Every structure is written in structure tokens, then in C-alpha cells.
Amino acid sequence: MTTALIYLDPDSNLNLQAQIRQKMVEAIMLGTFPEGRRLPSSRKLAEQLGVARNTVVLAYQQLVDEGYLLSRERSGLYVNEKIRQDRVGYQSKLTQRSEMSAKWRQRFKGSLTPGQDFHCPPNWQQYPFPFIEGQFDHSLYPVKEWREASRLALGIKEINDWAGETGEVDDPMLIEQIRTKILPRRGIQARPEEILITVGTQQALYLVAELLVDSTVAVAIEEPGYPDMRRLLAQRGAPLVYQPVDEHGITVDEKLDGCQLIYVTPSHQTPTAVTMSMERREQLLAKAAEMDALIIEDDFEFESNYLTQPHPALRSIDTEDRVIYMSCLSKVLAPGLRLGFMVAAPEVINEARKLRRLIVRHPPLNNQRTAAFFLSLGHYDTFLMHLHQIFEERWIALRRALNYYMLFYVEMAPAQGGTSLWVRGPEDLDVKYVAEEAAKRGILIEPIDHYYATSNAPKNCFRIGVTGIPHNRIREGVLQLRQLFHDLTSNKTETFATARGEHLTGEALVDALQNKTMMSVVAYGEPCTIEICSGGELVGKAGFADEDEDSGKWWIENECWHRQWQRWAWGETGIYDVRQEGDVIKLFDQDGWLIDRYIAQVETSGAENAN
């Protein structure tokens, strides 16, 4: 018998010793060990499992101590048959399992259909390029500061405050901190009775759905949108209106007529990351007023805009108390802590509080107090700023790398910040297949069909995020992704070898470029112009209002165009072979990849002066 008695799960959270112990107990109780048979020696099992021998020794010792195994001198370890006999009830239950199983299922009132959600591999951190949105990067956790807050919350006086069960009251210290430190960031002023702590944003959504929704209440939700909210509303039997999202957020039109409730994610729309424009916010509030509808504003990660200032929350510009605002502390404080809050009219909070009492009483008070200390010590503000900086760096890096390397393979939905991008790939690629292939190459990207309720999900869109990938992996990850797309699509971008057009060299190369203004479009859909001045200067302008400018130098060397920007293209020297096909100038890097395609539309003013 050379096969191992047990197998370890590489993804298990248990340490090896606990895992060995757990698996052995399971195997013993299930009777899968041959009776009276000697167990493999610790040395042998350690070899089979690929673990240190001492790990097995300790696990074995624990099993002996607990009576699962018997040690017979000079003979070895055996399963203690008695332990199995003492637990016959356990065995007999197993045999009845299948028939009971069917009985149980009949009893459920409206069983929940399992979601077709994307499941991030639990060992995502072992992938070199985890472009996965929302996975917690533990290296960013404020360990020292959270420990400090925990220590404070473990003081005798504090324990006395939080240990008792309050029935329905939250920690007043946390309410005060949220009221004075977090809400003003979003422009929201609230009194304590307008705030309720929840077990994550999810519970706020659940409470509101239970309170306000039944089969008579039409609810508008974003399409694509947050699947668990759709599931919640469906469970309540609500007629749903799937409202499309454009570059300004949820569309506001007559399709909303008759809706009593509208669920939106204005800061960074889930899943497209589009920020709702100020104009659209006002339209939405006006429409809600016209229909006497209420709005649920899910501000799950606040608004972190890198390209513009954040907009105020809907609730802060709502003069009619129509908006129920909800958010959470998970952006800074691990999602595993499950700390969220909602802000609404006192009547809503009061009713939600009564319901919450029946569901969980209240979120754990030790965590409430710890978070309150964390906030009151200023750590929250510090870390929010810190994360903002880190995510900005990563997000900008991702956007730039996609733009530089994959300009001809992808388009991006317009986004001003956040931690993800919504990307459209080549028409002929089914992203589900691409994502599987990508995973094989160490790249994780998220397919998006589960965000759609209707059959409108585009086959070639995907989501790509930066919460889990370090800055220094992003560029290489995008390079790998380009190779993947190139390998999989039949609409391959031309390479230097395959491209049409004349290879420009010598004088022709200079003439084609010098004193020209080159027109292009970036991957996020904005125009871009580059003036190539005769003095060797470059002036680059991108965006509809030229909001992103850069300058640089160019020269010709070895028949290649050399270009170096101050910031663009990482400030590195780019070396390009140039082809011309009609009006179109094409740049290829030294590996033959097409990097840019320009139209030389007008001569630069510098050229005019020269004439």
C-alpha cells in the first residue's frame, strides 16, 4: 500500500499539524482505516505528505493523548477501536444521511439558488499576476495600529462597556467617530439617531430590503450591477427594472417610471467603476422626487478619484431625506471584520434597529469599540490616505500599461479612480475561456457575466483590479496578458513582420515625422496629440481638454525613431521601427509589437515658423 492514508489541502488555513490531526480523526471516525492495521511510521507519513517529521510526530502524539490512537510498545500506533465503538450514533447517522437529505430539502421555504458568481481561487496570492478586484492584500493591513486599538479596547473599563449585551444599542463611541470623522468626508451630516452599525454593508442592504421591499415594490437596479443585491431583491419577490449604465452612471429615463426604490453605486459603479457625474446625480434626485421614490446609495468604498475631485455623496445633496446611505470600514479595516454602517432618516434607522435586534441583536461590540479607538487615534485617516496613494499608483500604472501595450486589443470604460477597470477585449474572445487560459499563465482576471441579470452580458468584457497586485508586477502582468490575447484571438494586431506599409528609414523617416502633429486615441477613448518639433522636442497632450500633458525628446538612431518622455511611457527611451501606410504612421517596438498608430494630420506651428 503505497498510497497515502490522507491528503493535505494546500489551500487549507489550518497549519500542517492541525490538518494532519483533523484528517486522521475524520478517517478514523469514518472507518476508512483498515482495522487492527499499524499506522505508517511518522517518518514514512512525513515523507508521503512532504512535511517535517516532527509535524507528524506532534499530530500523532495529540491523537494518542486524545484517545484516537493507541501506542503499543515496540509495535507502533494503532487506531483505538474503542473510540469508534463509543460513537456508534455517529456511524448510524451517516447511513441514514441520504434519505434525510431529501426530507430536509422539502422543508425549505424558497431555497436560495446558488449564484453563478466568480470564485476567486483561495490561493490567489500565489499567482504572480492577480488582477483581482476586492481581494484583501494583507500587506496593507495596519497591523501595528489595529493592535494598538485592540489593546485599548481590552482595558478593564472598556470590556465593561462592550462585554454586556445591549439588545439593540451600538457603541456610542463608534457612532460619534463615524459621525465626526468619516461622514464629513462624504459631505454627510448626521445625528447619532441617523446612524446604525451593521455587520458589513451586506447587512445594511438586507435590512433595507426587508423593510422596504415586497412583491408590490418595483425596484430599479444597475445593469450590470451587484449580484447579491439582485438576489436579495429577488428573494423579496420585487419586480426589478434593469437600468443600463453609461459613462455618467445609471441612466435616468422613463424606464424608471413606477419604481419606488432605486439602488445605485455612484462612487464607483459596481462593476464598471464608472463614477456618477454631478449632473446625473442631480437628475437622479429630481427623478426620484418626481416619482416619490427612495434611493439606496451603496458607497461601499467611498469615492477615490485620482483624475478629479470626489463628488459629494447623494445623501449629502439630497434635501428631501430620500437617500439611504450605506458604507463600511472594510477599505481600511479588513473585510473579515464585517463592520458597516447606514445613515438614513431616524424613522428608517429606528425600524432597521428593531429588525436587526431580531436578526443578530447588534454587531459585536468589541469590534465596534476597537474600530472606534482606531478612528479616534487618527489611524483611519492616515491609512485611508496611505491606501489612496498606493491604489492610485497601482491604478494609474495599470491604466498606462494597458494603454501602452494593449492599445489595439482593449478599450476601457471611463473611470476616474477606484481600484478596478472595466475592459473590453477583442470581439472574438469569450472572456470565460480567456480567464481560464490566463490563470494557467499565472494571471487572474474576472469574467463579468454574473453582474448581468439580462442576457446582455458582452462576451468579451472583463474586470481587472489592483487591490491584490503589487505595483511592481503590474507592467509585466499586462505584457503577459498581451501575449495571451495575441495567442488566442484571430484578429491579431499586426506586428512589424506582418504589417502593411513602407518601412521608413533615412530621410523618409525624418520627413514623415518632423514638424508633424500626430493624432491618436488612447485606450480609455480620449484623444491624444503629439507635436514632433524640428528641434528634437516632443509635446504630448491627452484628454478631451488636454488635461494630461507631457514633453520629451526625439531623435533618430540606427534607422529607428527614439522617443523619450518626461513621464509618459515610464520616462524610458522607446525605440521604434516606423511603417507608413497612406496617412497612417505605425510604431513597432524592438520585439515587433505595434505600439501606436498615428495620423499625421497637420504640420506643427513650429514647422509653419520654419517656412
Question: Under the criterion CB under 8 A, does residue 52 sit at the interface with its own copies?
Answer: no
CB of 361 to its own copies, least distance (A): 5
Residue 533: left (phi > 0), alpha (psi -120 to 50), or beta? Answer: beta
CB of 6 to its own copies, least distance (A): 15
CB of 54 to its own copies, least distance (A): 18
Q: Which residues pair with 598 in a beta bridge?
A: 585
Question: Under the criterion CB under 8 A, does residue 366 sit at the interface with its own copies?
Answer: yes
Written as one string, the DSSP assignment of 231-273 is: HHHHHTT--EEEEEEETTEE--SGGGTT-SEEEE--SS-TTT-
| Piece in contact with its own copies (CB under 8 A), picked from 50-58, 240-248, 344-352, 400-408 | 344-352
Q: Using CB under 8 A, which of 24, 49, 59, 173 touches its own copies?
A: 173
- What are the angstrom distances between the C-alpha of 511 and each of 247, 565, 606, 607, 609? 40, 21, 14, 12, 16
User: What residues have CB less than 8 Å from 258, skipping those under 6 apart?
Assistant: 218, 241, 291
The interface with its own copies within residues 300-329 (CB under 8 A) comprises: 316, 319-321
161 or 303: CB nearest its own copies: 161
Q: Using CB under 8 A, which of 129, 162, 395, 451 touches its own copies?
A: 162
| Piece in contact with its own copies (CB under 8 A), picked from 36-44, 347-355, 456-464, 469-477 | 347-355
Question: Under the criterion CB under 8 A, does residue 10 sit at the interface with its own copies?
Answer: no
216 or 309: CB nearest its own copies: 216
CB of 315 to its own copies, least distance (A): 10
Question: Under the criterion CB under 8 A, does residue 26 sit at the interface with its own copies?
Answer: yes
352 or 398: CB nearest its own copies: 352
Whether the CB-CB separation of 33 and 27 falls below 8 Å is answered with yes
The interface with its own copies within residues 512-571 (CB under 8 A) comprises: none
336 or 571: CB nearest its own copies: 336
Whether the CB-CB separation of 444 and 121 falls below 8 Å is answered with yes
The interface with its own copies within residues 208-267 (CB under 8 A) comprises: 210-214, 217, 228, 231-232, 235, 260
470 or 525: CB nearest its own copies: 470
Q: Using CB under 8 A, which of 1, 3, 10, 13 touches its own copies?
A: 13
21 or 597: CB nearest its own copies: 21
Q: Using CB under 8 A, which of 143, 289, 584, 610 touches its own copies?
A: 143
Whether the CB-CB separation of 221 and 242 falls below 8 Å is answered with yes
End-to-end CA distance of the chain: 90
Contacts 24+ apart (CB under 8 A), 386-393: 386/140, 387/140, 387/331, 387/332, 388/304, 390/140, 390/471, 391/304, 391/418, 391/419, 391/466, 391/467, 392/304, 392/306, 392/417, 393/471
| Residue 35 exposed, middle or buried by CB count within 10 Å (0-12, 13-18, 19+) | exposed
Grid cell locating 463: 474586470
Question: Under the criterion CB under 8 A, does residue 82 sit at the interface with its own copies?
Answer: no
CB of 117 to its own copies, least distance (A): 8
CB of 20 to its own copies, least distance (A): 13
Whether the CB-CB separation of 411 and 426 falls below 8 Å is answered with no
Q: Which residues pair with 541 in a beta bridge?
A: 529, 549
How far apart (Å, rounded) are the C-alpha atoms in residues 371 and 341? 12
Q: Using CB under 8 A, which of 160, 454, 490, 558 touches its own copies?
A: 160
Q: What is the residue type of 224?
A: P
The interface with its own copies within residues 182-211 (CB under 8 A) comprises: 189, 191, 199-200, 202-203, 206, 210-211
Question: How many residues sit close enough to its own copies to count as binding (CB under 8 A)?
Answer: 97
Q: What is the torsion angle, in degrees rounded to the nearest 10, for the CA atoms of residue 563, residue 566, residue 567 and residue 572?
A: 40
| Piece in contact with its own copies (CB under 8 A), picked from 341-349, 384-392, 404-412, 593-601 | 341-349
CB of 271 to its own copies, least distance (A): 16
The interface with its own copies within residues 270-299 (CB under 8 A) comprises: 294
Question: Under the criterion CB under 8 A, does residue 138 sit at the interface with its own copies?
Answer: yes
Q: Using CB under 8 A, which of 10, 36, 114, 535 touches its own copies?
A: 114
How far apart (Å, rounded) are the C-alpha atoms in residues 605 and 546? 17
Question: Under the criterion CB under 8 A, does residue 32 sit at the interface with its own copies?
Answer: no
How far apart (Å, rounded) are the C-alpha atoms in residues 242 and 446? 22
CB of 465 to its own copies, least distance (A): 14
Question: Under the criterion CB under 8 A, does residue 470 sit at the interface with its own copies?
Answer: no
How far apart (Å, rounded) are the C-alpha atoms in residues 199 and 359? 11
Question: Under the criterion CB under 8 A, does residue 65 sit at the interface with its own copies?
Answer: no
270 or 493: CB nearest its own copies: 270
CA angle, 566 as apex, 496 and 527 as ends, to 5°? 60
How far apart (Å, rounded) are the C-alpha atoms in residues 547 and 565? 16
Q: Using CB under 8 A, which of 38, 43, 82, 93 touches its own copies?
A: 93
| Piece in contact with its own copies (CB under 8 A), picked from 102-110, 470-478, 502-510, 514-522 | 102-110
365 or 401: CB nearest its own copies: 365
How far apart (Å, rounded) are the C-alpha atoms in residues 550 and 566? 6
90 or 570: CB nearest its own copies: 90
| Piece in contact with its own copies (CB under 8 A), picked from 38-46, 147-155, 251-259, 384-392 | 147-155
Whether the CB-CB separation of 364 and 168 falls below 8 Å is answered with no
CA angle, 322 as apex, 271 and 301 as ends, to 5°? 30
Which residue is it, cell 458568481?
A: 117
